[in-house]
Structure 1
């Protein structure tokens, strides 16, 4: 009979976390039949049923749940021992990162540089997505860490602040030259889910300037092009529009809001993977400039 190995325990942990054999196979870069074979080997070796099918997914049996709870600290300890022996620079693995568009532009370049410099054996898989979907993926185990505009409060998450970005009210230079909000301008903003939208509303109310309409766009780069063409005004993170301001394409049309856009990195509250924890620690050292 085939002896159980570390990869058997790793397989159990990922099926338990992700809920399906298919998702675990994708995470472990293998096939679903291979995952099924590993589970059969474990059950045969131990003489117990570990998973029970429910609909399209699987759930742990009582004994399977206890086994996973007992094995997860062993897995984390094994990986930590390897990292301690080889140093952080010897860490390996694939880490799946999620980020919003603004967070990606503001946070990720520095983070990627830090990983390449200090953890060359770690491979990053980065996807840009909406905040709500990223948080769902993180809690569901299909993302390992996310960068997003905060603050985000959830009992299932552990977060660390990584700095803030100044927000600026901009219009095209031509629009500012003819008086800006002296005429009722259309206003553009990212969606209502974003902290920027809330700051925009508060800033408009405080300024008392006339405005024609509030339009939304879920892509900041597209919105920058719209405003640069003279189609209204918008609040932008300063880090994303420096080039356009320097080139004279955009100019400040209202005083900058007092509020800044805060950024956070987040992982699952119960995360035990030493590589992910090390990346999270390094993310906490980032400072957005």
Structure 2
């Protein structure tokens, strides 16, 4: 039995789409259909039903899927038993939100390259909502963002939280005491993109403070948001880790006399199953790198929710 055809079958079953499977496997829809047809002829059963809603497994297809995943798992285990990490090839597609990109993404990617020099790394920067959508569609293998994701063959791991604070230019007109949230909200607030988790948390905090009509500027770029704060366009509601150097230099200051916004959580979400063992290893590296980053920055900047791990370079 052709293992490539079995792998194709498994991906069609996961993605519920011949088109997405063709993109995933760098093939064409015609080739994917041909492989499935050949597998159906060999097994003597129909594996998929196609209708206007998409592709679904037949009862026989569900039985075959269980065995197909076992066979691919066995083959992957065999390959790993006779090779080391430096010889592992393939591609890992990682999606990350801006906060990750501007904090610990670089050491993370460096660690992957050291551990798996032959693996191609494809990076996507986007909002949490879009990253979740791309993971569901099979365009990404791992995403680093704010929300837990539900779905078949999907796992989540809470990695850390970044304390979000009110940040202003030192010595500016915003750098003063505020008697209440209502008084602070009279100034322009600069924060993350509209309807993002941080934006919703800010709205909830202001609502709890009986603020009815705040002036909030939602910005979908961390670089743009931090620049606006540095240049004095308003009070920033953002993780202090994003401007740690400016805080050290005294260019920016944290306002600590008013209630702080909720921390920004970081969740790793990835696809699991046959042929996706590399993702599990990459997640382990993410925990390792973030643990080291958290120790370096301190709990005022990063609060780890993963167990402490070693930071060796095996």
Residue 168 of structure 1 and its aligned partner are, at CA, apart by 3.3
CA distance in 1, matches of 2:23, 2:149: 29
Q: TM-score, normalised by structure 1?
A: 0.83
CA distance in 2, matches of 1:208, 1:253: 20
Tell me if structure 1 keeps the 8 A contact 2:149–2:269: no
Residue 36 in 1 paired to residue 33 in 2? yes
Give the unaligned 5+ runs of structure 2: 295-314
Counterpart for residue 281 of structure 1: 284
CA distance in 1, matches of 2:151, 2:61: 25
More displaced 10-residue stretch of structure 1: 37-46 or 200-209: 200-209
Counterpart for residue 139 of structure 1: 136
Tell me if structure 1 keeps the 8 A contact 2:157–2:269: yes
More displaced 10-residue stretch of structure 1: 84-93 or 248-257: 248-257
Residue 212 of structure 1 and its aligned partner are, at CA, apart by 5.8
SS of 1:106 mapped into structure 2: coil
Counterpart for residue 120 of structure 2: 123
CA distance in 2, matches of 1:217, 1:146: 21
Residue 54 of structure 1 and its aligned partner are, at CA, apart by 1.3
CA distance in 2, matches of 1:147, 1:233: 26
* Greater strand content: 1
Residue 56 of structure 1 and its aligned partner are, at CA, apart by 6.5
Taking the TM superposition and a 5 Å limit, the aligned residue runs for 1:246-257 are 246=248, 249-254=251-256, 257=260
Tell me if structure 2 keeps the 8 A contact 1:171–1:233: yes
Residue 225 in 1 paired to residue 222 in 2? no
CA distance in 2, matches of 1:225, 1:178: 17
- Residue by residue, what CA displacement relative to the aligned partner does 1:225-267 show, whole Å, maximum 9, x if unpaired? 2222221101222222234445655333445948543322112
Give the unaligned 5+ runs of structure 1: none
Counterpart for residue 6 of structure 2: 9
Q: TM-score, normalised by structure 2?
A: 0.77
Q: 1:205 to 1:212 in 2, by over 3 A?
A: closer
Q: CA RMSD in A?
A: 3.1
